[in-house]
Amino acid sequence: MAHRWQNDLTHKDITPEPLFWNRRKILAGLGGVGLGAIGGGMAQAEASPLEPNTWEEVTSYNNYYEFGTGKTDPSEYAGQLTTSPWSVEIDGLVDRPGSYGFEQILSEMTLEERIYRFRCVEAWSMVIPWQGFELSDLLALAGVQAGAKYVAFETLLRRDEMPGTRYPVLDWPYREGLRLDEAMHPLTIMATGIFGKPLPNQNGAPLRLVVPWKYGFKSIKSIVKITLTDQEPPTSWNMANAREYGFYSNVNPTVDHPRWSQATERRIGGGLFARREPTLMFNGYEEEVASLYAGMDLTKNY
Ligand SMILES: Nc1nc2c(c(=O)[nH]1)N[C@H]1C(S)=C(S)[C@@H](COP(=O)(O)O)O[C@H]1N2
Ligand SMILES: [Mo]
């Protein structure tokens, strides 16, 4: 077994990490220095720590339309999905195209834990402790060629295990895409676990994308195919409704969805009287990713 996660981690063991900070940065930037020793810029971050949601919240309120469109459908029906053996086909503009087994991938990657804010386009949010590796490390395994400009992703389509695919809600298989620079950004991870445990099926087992500065639907689950291409790839939600769902789908409180405001969000699990919170530009990761979109009109490239 190549798994490097700790299976005995519980919610209590997970230290809430300040906004904008992930473990790699803490390790790289701080060495042995305690968090209390950091001045200035940390003060504001410390005031708004990313306190994770509970296991129960993260695994029972989901979107995974292959199992139905209701929030509890995935936890109810995704258990029947066979996730082992699993392999990912990597093709297109790569030096080493082919089928990469999940265990083989894990054995080549260094798993890290990162706690990220996760914001759905429907204006709810959660904070989730993920385990995974950087997508760029996986792409390096396959060897990205110079002409590649985009990365396309596809979810498994196995109709007999996915009751929701009987309905034409989306054009199956579920498809997503990123521009290559977005895919190579260190915040973009392939997640293989939550809370120190392997991903539950409803969260996209055995491996799914997490792009923390984008709306949740970009974070495609149960990936079986990755294609490097020079064309912007078609994506499921954009095909379903291009006016409502653009290719970029960056979290942006100043650009409303045609049918609702994107300015605030409701934190799942916040309780009956929880206030809606203001949504942050790029979901709070503006400092890290704004430069990717320099000069772009984000009202047009939504
Ligand atoms: N294959 C697939 N991936 C998917 C979806 C889906 O329906 N099918 N839903 C997306 C949406 S809309 C959201 S908000 C997130 C939800 O992830 P979570 O259930 O782990 O919180 O998964 C995304 N990835
Ligand atoms: Mo979503």
pLDDT digits (tens, 9 = 90+) for 124-134: 999 999 999 99
Distance 63 CA to ligand 2 centre (A): 6
Residue 4 confidence class, pLDDT cut points 50, 70, 90: very low
Residue 49 pLDDT level (bands cut at 50, 70, 90):
low
pLDDT of residue 20: 38
Domain presence at residue 4: no
For residue 204, the SS3 value is coil
Measuring CA to CA, how many Å separate 255 from each of 39, 173, 258, 298? Answer: 34, 28, 9, 8
- What mean pLDDT is predicted for residues 257-276? 90
Ligand nearest to the CA of 156: 1
287: number of Cβ within 10 Å: 11
**Number of structural domains the chain divides into:** 1
Using a CB cutoff of 5 Å, list residues around ligand 2, an ion: 63, 120-121, 216-217
Question: Where residue 253 sits, what CATH number does that domain have?
Answer: 3.90.420.10
Query: Which ligand has its closest atom nearest to the C-alpha of 222?
Result: 1
Does pLDDT of 19 surpass 50?
A: no
- For atom 23 of ligand 1, the residue with the nearest CA is 217
Which of 5-14, 31-40, 199-208, 245-254 shows the lowest per-residue confidence on average (mean pLDDT)? 31-40
Q: Is residue 5 part of a domain?
A: no
- Coarse DSSP helix, strand, coil percentages of the chain, rounded to the nearest 5 percent: 30, 25, 45
> How do beta strands 87-92 and 98-101 pair?
antiparallel
Give 159's pLDDT tier (boundaries 50, 70, 90): very high
302 vs 295: CA distance, rounded Å: 14
Q: What average pLDDT does the chain have?
A: 87
Choice from 56, 127, 221 to test ligand 1 binding pocket (greatest atom count within 8 A of CB): 221
Kindly state whether residue 262 falls inside one of the protein's structural domains.
Answer: yes
- Contacts with 44 (C-beta within 8 Å, 6 or more apart), sequence order: none
Residue 247: predicted pLDDT = 98
C-beta separation of 132 from 114 below 8 A: yes
Query: Pocket residues for ligand 1 (CB within 6 Å)?
Result: 62-66, 118, 120, 155, 174, 203-204, 216-217, 219-222
Kindly identify the ligand whose nearest atom is closest to the C-alpha of 237.
1
Q: Give the gyration radius of the chain's Cα atoms.
A: 19
Within a domain: residue 75? yes
The whole model's pTM is what? 0.87
Evaluate whether residue 1 is within a structural domain: no
Tell me the percentage of the chain whose pLDDT exceeds 90: 81
* All residues at 6 or more sequence positions from 60 whose CB lies less than 8 Å from its CB, including other chains: 72, 75, 202
pLDDT at 44 over 70: no
Distance 216 CA to ligand 1 centre (A): 6
**Amino acid identity, position 64:** Y
Instruction: Please check whether residue 300 lies inside any domain of the structure.
Output: no
> The domain containing residue 285 runs over which residues?
11-293
Burial of 126 (0-12, 13-18, 19+ CB in 10 A): buried
- Three-class SS state of 294: coil
Q: 174 with 195: CB under 8 angstroms?
A: no
Asked whether residue 79 is assigned to any structural domain, the reply reads yes
**Tokens (6 digits) for 59:** 């695994």
CA of 42 to the centre of ligand 1 (A): 32
Mean pLDDT within 170-193: 98
User: Could you give the CA distance from residue 167 to residue 271 in angstroms, rounded to a whole number?
Assistant: 33
CA distance 141 to 96: 8
Please tell me the distance between residue 72's alpha carbon and the centre of ligand 2 in angstroms: 14
Nearest CA to ligand 1 atom 8: 64
The DSSP line for 87-142 is: EEEEEESBSS-EEEEHHHHHHHS--EEEEEEEE-TTSEEEEEEEEEEEHHHHHHHH
Please give the pLDDT value at position 50.
Answer: 85
Residue 39, in any domain of the structure: yes
Tokens of residue 22, six digits: 């992930």
Is the pLDDT score of 41 beyond 60? no
Atom 21 in ligand 1: which residue has the minimum CA distance?
A: 62
CB atoms inside a 10 Å sphere around CB 297? 8
* CA-74 nearest atom, ligand 1: 19
- 26 pLDDT above the threshold of 50: no
194 within 8 A of 129, measured Cβ to Cβ: yes
